[in-house]
Amino acid sequence: MYEVWSTRIELTTKKEILEVMKELHADRSTVVRLLLEAGVREWRKNRALKALSEPRRRRLTKPPPRGAKTAHSKPCPREK
C-alpha cells in the first residue's frame, strides 16, 4: 500500500531526477520512489555498520538482587 507525500526539492535535485528518468525510461513517481528506497536501504546499512564498529558495553556478571549488600554499598547507619 502506498501513501502520497509531498516535499520540496532543490532545482539541482530535480535536474538529477529528470536525468535518472531518461536513463531508466520511467515516470517521476517511480524514479523518486526507487531513489528514496535506495537511500533508506543505504542509511540502514550505514547505521548497522556503525553499530558493529562501536565497542559493545556488556555486563560481565549478573547484577545482584535488589536489597543485597555489595562490596561498594554504603553501610546503613545504626538506629539507637
Overall average pLDDT of the 13-24 stretch: 97
- Cα 77 to Cα 30: distance, rounded to the nearest angstrom: 71
- Cα 74 to Cα 23: distance, rounded to the nearest angstrom: 71
Is the pLDDT confidence value at 59 over 70? no
Full DSSP string of 12-79: HHHHHHHHHHHHHT--HHHHHHHHHHHHHHHHHHHHHHHHHHSPP---SSPPPPTT---TTSPPPPPP
What does DSSP assign to residue 11? H
Q: Please tell me the least confidently modeled range out of 9-13, 46-50, 56-60.
A: 56-60
Overall average pLDDT of the 42-66 stretch: 83
Mean pLDDT, rounded, of the chain: 86
